[in-house]
Protein backbone atom coordinates (compact mmCIF):
# COMPACT_ATOMS: atom_id res chain seq x y z
CA UNK A 1 0.00 0.00 0.00
CA UNK A 2 1.62 3.21 -1.18
CA UNK A 3 1.52 6.24 1.09
CA UNK A 4 1.63 9.89 0.07
CA UNK A 5 3.49 11.68 2.86
CA UNK A 6 3.57 15.45 3.17
CA UNK A 7 4.77 16.39 6.64
CA UNK A 8 4.82 15.02 10.13
CA UNK A 9 6.10 15.23 13.67
CA UNK A 10 6.03 13.24 16.91
CA UNK A 11 4.26 12.55 20.21
CA UNK A 12 0.92 11.08 21.22
CA UNK A 13 -2.25 11.63 19.22
CA UNK A 14 -4.39 12.61 22.17
CA UNK A 15 -2.33 15.78 22.51
CA UNK A 16 -4.28 18.74 21.28
CA UNK A 17 -1.74 20.12 18.90
CA UNK A 18 -1.27 21.63 15.54
CA UNK A 19 -2.47 22.58 12.11
CA UNK A 20 0.33 21.74 9.71
CA UNK A 21 1.19 22.68 6.16
CA UNK A 22 -1.91 20.96 4.79
CA UNK A 23 -3.20 19.35 7.94
CA UNK A 24 -2.63 19.13 11.66
CA UNK A 25 0.76 18.01 12.92
CA UNK A 26 1.27 16.69 16.40
CA UNK A 27 4.30 18.63 17.52
CA UNK A 28 4.09 22.24 16.30
CA UNK A 29 0.85 24.04 17.17
CA UNK A 30 -0.16 26.47 14.43
CA UNK A 31 -3.66 27.70 13.73
CA UNK A 32 -3.04 28.05 10.03
CA UNK A 33 -4.13 26.33 6.83
CA UNK A 34 -1.93 25.47 3.89
CA UNK A 35 -2.90 28.60 1.99
CA UNK A 36 -1.70 30.78 4.86
CA UNK A 37 -5.22 31.76 5.92
CA UNK A 38 -5.72 31.84 9.69
CA UNK A 39 -8.95 30.27 10.92
CA UNK A 40 -10.20 30.64 14.45
CA UNK A 41 -11.30 27.63 16.49
CA UNK A 42 -14.80 29.06 16.68
CA UNK A 43 -15.02 29.60 12.91
CA UNK A 44 -13.98 25.99 12.45
CA UNK A 45 -16.80 24.86 14.74
CA UNK A 46 -14.39 23.56 17.36
CA UNK A 47 -14.97 25.74 20.42
CA UNK A 48 -17.94 25.24 22.70
CA UNK A 49 -16.65 27.40 25.54
CA UNK A 50 -18.85 30.28 26.58
CA UNK A 51 -16.10 32.85 26.14
CA UNK A 52 -14.85 31.17 22.93
CA UNK A 53 -11.24 31.52 24.07
CA UNK A 54 -8.42 29.25 22.98
CA UNK A 55 -8.34 26.12 25.13
CA UNK A 56 -5.12 25.26 26.91
CA UNK A 57 -3.18 22.19 28.03
CA UNK A 58 -0.03 21.51 30.07
CA UNK A 59 2.80 20.39 27.75
CA UNK A 60 4.63 18.75 30.65
CA UNK A 61 1.73 16.31 31.02
CA UNK A 62 2.36 14.98 27.51
CA UNK A 63 6.03 14.11 27.73
CA UNK A 64 6.89 10.40 27.36
CA UNK A 65 6.01 8.51 30.52
CA UNK A 66 8.55 6.75 32.72
CA UNK A 67 8.53 2.95 32.58
CA UNK A 68 10.77 -0.05 33.06
CA UNK A 69 11.84 -0.55 29.44
CA UNK A 70 11.52 1.17 26.06
CA UNK A 71 11.54 -0.75 22.78
CA UNK A 72 11.96 1.22 19.53
CA UNK A 73 11.84 -1.41 16.80
CA UNK A 74 12.37 1.03 13.91
CA UNK A 75 15.53 2.32 15.60
CA UNK A 76 16.74 -1.13 16.56
CA UNK A 77 17.07 0.00 20.18
CA UNK A 78 15.93 -1.33 23.53
CA UNK A 79 16.92 0.51 26.70
CA UNK A 80 16.29 0.96 30.42
CA UNK A 81 16.79 4.21 32.30
CA UNK A 82 18.12 4.50 35.84
CA UNK A 83 15.70 4.60 38.77
CA UNK A 84 16.63 8.22 39.46
CA UNK A 85 15.88 9.38 35.92
CA UNK A 86 12.52 7.60 35.98
CA UNK A 87 11.78 9.26 39.33
CA UNK A 88 12.67 12.67 37.88
CA UNK A 89 10.40 11.99 34.91
CA UNK A 90 7.51 11.05 37.21
CA UNK A 91 8.04 14.25 39.19
CA UNK A 92 8.34 16.26 35.96
CA UNK A 93 11.85 17.40 36.76
CA UNK A 94 12.90 15.83 33.45
CA UNK A 95 10.87 15.73 30.22
CA UNK A 96 11.51 12.89 27.78
CA UNK A 97 10.47 13.84 24.25
CA UNK A 98 11.19 12.54 20.75
CA UNK A 99 12.51 14.08 17.56
CA UNK A 100 13.48 12.93 14.08
CA UNK A 101 14.43 14.42 10.72
CA UNK A 102 11.50 15.35 8.41
CA UNK A 103 9.37 12.29 7.70
CA UNK A 104 8.97 13.06 4.01
CA UNK A 105 12.75 13.05 3.51
CA UNK A 106 15.57 10.53 3.90
CA UNK A 107 16.05 9.63 7.55
CA UNK A 108 19.20 11.27 8.92
CA UNK A 109 18.48 11.08 12.65
CA UNK A 110 15.90 9.95 15.20
CA UNK A 111 16.28 10.29 18.94
CA UNK A 112 14.66 10.56 22.34
CA UNK A 113 15.68 13.67 24.24
CA UNK A 114 15.86 14.62 27.92
CA UNK A 115 15.40 18.18 29.16
CA UNK A 116 15.27 19.82 32.57
CA UNK A 117 12.04 21.52 33.59
CA UNK A 118 11.81 24.59 35.76
CA UNK A 119 8.82 25.03 38.05
CA UNK A 120 7.31 27.44 35.54
CA UNK A 121 7.78 24.94 32.70
CA UNK A 122 6.24 22.13 34.78
CA UNK A 123 3.09 24.12 35.37
CA UNK A 124 2.93 26.09 32.12
CA UNK A 125 -0.34 26.04 30.18
CA UNK A 126 -0.35 26.87 26.48
CA UNK A 127 -3.05 27.22 23.87
CA UNK A 128 -3.95 24.23 21.73
CA UNK A 129 -3.72 26.58 18.78
CA UNK A 130 -0.89 29.03 18.20
CA UNK A 131 2.84 28.64 18.85
CA UNK A 132 2.73 28.18 22.63
CA UNK A 133 3.90 24.58 22.59
CA UNK A 134 6.69 25.35 20.16
CA UNK A 135 7.95 28.16 22.42
CA UNK A 136 7.66 25.96 25.51
CA UNK A 137 9.74 23.24 23.93
CA UNK A 138 12.33 25.70 22.61
CA UNK A 139 12.80 27.07 26.13
CA UNK A 140 13.73 23.72 27.68
CA UNK A 141 17.32 22.99 28.71
CA UNK A 142 18.44 19.86 26.85
CA UNK A 143 20.67 17.64 29.03
CA UNK A 144 20.79 14.36 27.11
CA UNK A 145 19.71 12.32 24.10
CA UNK A 146 19.84 8.76 22.82
CA UNK A 147 19.39 8.01 19.18
CA UNK A 148 20.32 6.88 15.72
CA UNK A 149 22.30 9.09 13.33
CA UNK A 150 23.33 8.68 9.70
CA UNK A 151 26.76 7.07 9.52
CA UNK A 152 29.57 9.56 8.95
CA UNK A 153 27.93 12.44 10.81
CA UNK A 154 30.67 14.52 12.45
CA UNK A 155 30.73 15.81 16.03
CA UNK A 156 29.72 19.32 15.03
CA UNK A 157 26.56 18.02 13.35
CA UNK A 158 25.80 15.78 16.34
CA UNK A 159 26.14 18.73 18.70
CA UNK A 160 23.84 20.89 16.58
CA UNK A 161 21.13 18.22 16.40
CA UNK A 162 21.30 16.92 19.97
CA UNK A 163 22.08 20.26 21.69
CA UNK A 164 24.59 18.28 23.75
CA UNK A 165 28.39 18.55 23.73
CA UNK A 166 29.60 15.11 24.81
CA UNK A 167 28.86 12.16 22.53
CA UNK A 168 29.52 8.48 23.21
CA UNK A 169 29.14 6.06 20.31
CA UNK A 170 27.45 2.93 21.63
CA UNK A 171 27.10 0.89 18.45
CA UNK A 172 25.91 0.73 14.86
CA UNK A 173 22.77 -0.58 13.17
CA UNK A 174 23.06 -4.04 11.64
CA UNK A 175 22.47 -2.62 8.17
CA UNK A 176 25.55 -0.43 8.62
CA UNK A 177 23.72 2.79 7.76
CA UNK A 178 23.44 4.37 11.21
CA UNK A 179 25.46 4.90 14.37
CA UNK A 180 23.95 5.07 17.85
CA UNK A 181 25.03 7.80 20.26
CA UNK A 182 24.35 8.54 23.89
CA UNK A 183 24.91 12.28 24.28
CA UNK A 184 24.92 14.56 27.34
CA UNK A 185 25.51 18.17 28.23
CA UNK A 186 28.77 18.29 30.16
CA UNK A 187 27.53 20.96 32.57
CA UNK A 188 24.63 18.74 33.69
CA UNK A 189 26.90 16.50 35.75
CA UNK A 190 24.24 14.87 37.94
CA UNK A 191 22.12 13.91 34.95
CA UNK A 192 25.17 12.80 32.94
CA UNK A 193 26.17 10.44 35.75
CA UNK A 194 22.70 8.90 35.90
CA UNK A 195 22.35 8.75 32.11
CA UNK A 196 25.59 6.80 31.88
CA UNK A 197 23.80 3.99 33.76
CA UNK A 198 21.34 3.54 30.88
CA UNK A 199 21.21 -0.11 29.79
CA UNK A 200 21.13 -0.18 25.99
CA UNK A 201 20.64 -3.23 23.76
CA UNK A 202 20.82 -3.30 19.96
CA UNK A 203 17.97 -5.30 18.44
CA UNK A 204 16.89 -6.14 14.91
CA UNK A 205 15.90 -2.86 13.24
CA UNK A 206 12.65 -2.94 11.31
CA UNK A 207 12.38 -1.19 7.96
CA UNK A 208 11.07 2.35 8.17
CA UNK A 209 7.24 2.29 8.21
CA UNK A 210 5.22 3.75 5.36
CA UNK A 211 4.25 6.78 7.40
CA UNK A 212 7.93 7.63 7.92
CA UNK A 213 7.67 7.82 11.73
CA UNK A 214 10.35 5.66 13.37
CA UNK A 215 9.80 6.73 16.99
CA UNK A 216 6.58 4.80 17.49
CA UNK A 217 7.37 2.49 20.36
CA UNK A 218 6.25 -1.14 20.38
CA UNK A 219 3.95 -0.58 23.36
CA UNK A 220 2.74 2.96 22.60
CA UNK A 221 -0.90 1.97 22.95
CA UNK A 222 -2.13 -0.80 25.21
CA UNK A 223 -3.53 -3.90 23.50
CA UNK A 224 -2.56 -2.76 20.02
CA UNK A 225 -0.20 -4.03 17.36
CA UNK A 226 2.37 -2.15 15.32
CA UNK A 227 1.11 -0.18 12.32
CA UNK A 228 2.88 -2.38 9.76
CA UNK A 229 1.54 -5.69 11.04
CA UNK A 230 -0.64 -7.81 8.79
CA UNK A 231 -3.62 -7.27 11.10
CA UNK A 232 -3.51 -3.53 10.44
CA UNK A 233 -4.54 -4.17 6.84
CA UNK A 234 -7.78 -5.94 7.72
CA UNK A 235 -10.74 -4.33 9.50
CA UNK A 236 -13.10 -7.24 8.85
CA UNK A 237 -13.45 -7.88 12.58
CA UNK A 238 -13.87 -4.22 13.54
CA UNK A 239 -16.43 -3.57 16.26
CA UNK A 240 -16.79 0.01 17.40
CA UNK A 241 -19.47 2.69 17.78
CA UNK A 242 -20.08 6.19 16.57
CA UNK A 243 -20.20 9.31 18.74
CA UNK A 244 -23.93 8.76 19.29
CA UNK A 245 -23.48 5.19 20.50
CA UNK A 246 -24.56 3.37 17.32
CA UNK A 247 -22.62 0.17 16.60
CA UNK A 248 -20.37 0.01 13.53
CA UNK A 249 -18.66 -3.09 12.15
CA UNK A 250 -18.13 -5.45 9.24
CA UNK A 251 -21.71 -5.24 7.95
CA UNK A 252 -21.30 -1.51 7.43
CA UNK A 253 -18.40 -2.13 5.06
CA UNK A 254 -20.35 -4.87 3.24
CA UNK A 255 -23.01 -2.37 2.13
CA UNK A 256 -20.54 -0.49 -0.09
CA UNK A 257 -17.87 -1.32 -2.68
CA UNK A 258 -15.57 1.24 -1.08
CA UNK A 259 -15.57 3.09 2.24
CA UNK A 260 -13.49 6.23 2.67
CA UNK A 261 -12.14 6.48 6.24
CA UNK A 262 -11.19 10.03 7.23
CA UNK A 263 -9.15 10.17 10.47
CA UNK A 264 -9.29 13.52 12.25
CA UNK A 265 -9.43 15.28 15.62
CA UNK A 266 -11.76 17.95 16.96
CA UNK A 267 -8.85 20.35 17.57
CA UNK A 268 -7.57 20.15 13.98
CA UNK A 269 -8.76 23.18 12.03
CA UNK A 270 -7.83 21.81 8.60
CA UNK A 271 -9.70 18.59 9.41
CA UNK A 272 -12.88 20.39 10.37
CA UNK A 273 -12.74 22.77 7.42
CA UNK A 274 -12.93 19.90 4.90
CA UNK A 275 -15.87 18.07 6.53
CA UNK A 276 -18.57 19.97 4.60
CA UNK A 277 -16.89 18.85 1.35
CA UNK A 278 -16.76 15.27 2.62
CA UNK A 279 -20.45 15.48 3.49
CA UNK A 280 -21.20 16.57 -0.07
CA UNK A 281 -18.92 13.86 -1.43
CA UNK A 282 -20.73 11.17 0.54
CA UNK A 283 -24.09 12.23 -0.89
CA UNK A 284 -22.69 12.36 -4.45
CA UNK A 285 -20.95 8.98 -4.32
CA UNK A 286 -23.44 6.94 -2.31
CA UNK A 287 -25.27 5.66 -5.40
CA UNK A 288 -21.91 4.61 -6.88
CA UNK A 289 -21.28 2.29 -3.95
CA UNK A 290 -19.04 4.61 -1.93
CA UNK A 291 -19.48 5.58 1.72
CA UNK A 292 -17.60 8.02 3.95
CA UNK A 293 -16.91 7.60 7.67
CA UNK A 294 -14.89 9.73 10.05
CA UNK A 295 -12.74 8.52 12.94
CA UNK A 296 -12.43 11.11 15.72
CA UNK A 297 -9.15 10.24 17.42
CA UNK A 298 -9.48 12.41 20.51
CA UNK A 299 -12.87 11.01 21.61
CA UNK A 300 -10.86 8.29 23.36
CA UNK A 301 -7.85 8.94 25.57
CA UNK A 302 -5.75 7.04 28.10
CA UNK A 303 -8.57 7.29 30.66
CA UNK A 304 -11.32 6.04 28.35
CA UNK A 305 -13.99 8.20 26.71
CA UNK A 306 -13.12 11.87 26.39
CA UNK A 307 -16.51 13.44 27.09
CA UNK A 308 -15.37 16.94 26.15
CA UNK A 309 -14.14 15.78 22.73
CA UNK A 310 -17.35 13.77 22.25
CA UNK A 311 -19.46 16.88 22.75
CA UNK A 312 -17.25 18.83 20.35
CA UNK A 313 -17.51 16.07 17.76
CA UNK A 314 -21.31 16.15 18.00
CA UNK A 315 -21.27 19.93 17.60
CA UNK A 316 -18.98 19.70 14.57
CA UNK A 317 -21.19 17.05 12.97
CA UNK A 318 -24.22 19.26 13.48
CA UNK A 319 -22.63 22.51 12.29
CA UNK A 320 -21.08 20.94 9.19
CA UNK A 321 -24.28 19.02 8.37
CA UNK A 322 -22.32 15.79 7.97
CA UNK A 323 -24.74 12.86 7.76
CA UNK A 324 -22.02 10.20 7.69
CA UNK A 325 -20.94 8.50 10.96
CA UNK A 326 -18.19 9.88 13.18
CA UNK A 327 -16.60 6.79 14.75
CA UNK A 328 -14.65 6.38 17.97
CA UNK A 329 -11.38 4.37 18.06
CA UNK A 330 -11.98 0.89 19.47
CA UNK A 331 -9.78 -0.96 21.99
CA UNK A 332 -7.59 -2.38 19.19
CA UNK A 333 -7.14 1.09 17.66
CA UNK A 334 -8.58 -0.29 14.39
CA UNK A 335 -6.27 -3.33 14.57
CA UNK A 336 -3.32 -0.96 14.99
CA UNK A 337 -4.10 1.01 11.81
CA UNK A 338 -4.43 4.24 13.77
CA UNK A 339 -1.06 3.79 15.48
CA UNK A 340 1.74 6.08 14.41
CA UNK A 341 -0.37 8.59 12.46
CA UNK A 342 1.54 11.85 12.80
CA UNK A 343 -0.36 14.34 10.65
CA UNK A 344 -4.09 14.86 10.52
CA UNK A 345 -6.32 14.47 8.65
CA UNK A 346 -5.28 11.12 7.20
CA UNK A 347 -7.53 9.17 4.86
CA UNK A 348 -7.50 5.55 3.72
CA UNK A 349 -9.95 3.21 1.97
CA UNK A 350 -11.62 -0.09 2.88
CA UNK A 351 -13.35 -2.54 0.52
CA UNK A 352 -16.58 -4.44 1.22
CA UNK A 353 -14.62 -7.29 2.83
CA UNK A 354 -13.04 -4.99 5.38
CA UNK A 355 -9.63 -5.01 3.67
CA UNK A 356 -7.65 -1.76 3.57
CA UNK A 357 -6.98 -1.02 -0.09
CA UNK A 358 -5.39 1.61 -2.32
CA UNK A 359 -3.30 4.56 -1.25
CA UNK A 360 -3.25 6.58 1.96
CA UNK A 361 -3.70 10.36 1.74
CA UNK A 362 -2.29 12.82 4.27
CA UNK A 363 -3.76 16.28 4.63
CA UNK A 364 -7.00 17.94 3.63
CA UNK A 365 -8.30 18.32 0.08
CA UNK A 366 -11.13 20.21 -1.61
CA UNK A 367 -14.23 18.55 -3.05
CA UNK A 368 -12.94 18.47 -6.61
CA UNK A 369 -9.71 16.74 -5.59
CA UNK A 370 -11.54 14.23 -3.41
CA UNK A 371 -13.88 13.38 -6.28
CA UNK A 372 -10.90 12.52 -8.48
CA UNK A 373 -9.23 10.50 -5.73
CA UNK A 374 -12.36 8.49 -4.90
CA UNK A 375 -13.10 7.75 -8.56
CA UNK A 376 -9.54 6.48 -8.95
CA UNK A 377 -9.70 4.27 -5.85
CA UNK A 378 -13.17 2.97 -6.80
CA UNK A 379 -11.95 2.03 -10.29
CA UNK A 380 -9.11 0.01 -8.73
CA UNK A 381 -11.53 -1.94 -6.52
CA UNK A 382 -13.95 -2.69 -9.36
CA UNK A 383 -11.11 -3.73 -11.63
d(CA 326, CA 242) in angstroms, rounded, equals 5
Which of 140-144, 227-231, 320-324 bottoms out in mean pLDDT, i.e. has the lowest? 227-231
**Confidence class for position 32, pLDDT limits 50, 70, 90:** very low
CA distance 127 to 57: 7
Q: What is the pLDDT of residues 303-355, one digit of tens each?
A: 788 899 999 999 999 999 999 999 999 988 898 888 767 678 999 999 999 99
Please provide the average confidence, as pLDDT, over all residues in the chain: 82
Residues 263 and 376: beta-carbon distance below 8 Å: no
User: What would the pLDDT profile of 197-221 be if each residue is shown by its tens digit?
Assistant: 999 999 989 888 877 888 887 644 3
Instruction: Supply the pLDDT for residue 129.
Output: 64
- With a pLDDT cut of 70, the percent of the chain lying above it is 80
Contacts of residue 156, defined as CB under 8 A and 6 or more positions apart, other chains included, come to none
Buried b (16+ CB within 10 A) or exposed e, 269-296: bbbbbbbebbbbbbeebeeeebbbbbbb
What's the maximum distance between 2 C-alpha atoms anywhere in the chain?
67
* Per-residue pLDDT at 14 exceeds 90: no
User: Bridge partners of 240?
Assistant: 248
- Report the candidate in 264, 241, 260, 255 with the shortest Cα–Cα distance to residue 327: 241
Amino acid sequence: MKKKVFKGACLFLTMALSVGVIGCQKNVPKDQLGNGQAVSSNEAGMSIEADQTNETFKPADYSIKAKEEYVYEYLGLKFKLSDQIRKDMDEKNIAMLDDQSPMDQDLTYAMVTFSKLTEDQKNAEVGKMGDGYEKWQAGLERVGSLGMFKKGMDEEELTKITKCDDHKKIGSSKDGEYDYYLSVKKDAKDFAEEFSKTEVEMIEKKDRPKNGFVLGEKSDLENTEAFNSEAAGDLGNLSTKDINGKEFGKKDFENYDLTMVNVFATWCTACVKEIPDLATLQKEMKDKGVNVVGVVTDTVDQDGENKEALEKAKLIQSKTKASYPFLMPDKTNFNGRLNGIQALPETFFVDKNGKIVGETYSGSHNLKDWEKIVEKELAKVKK
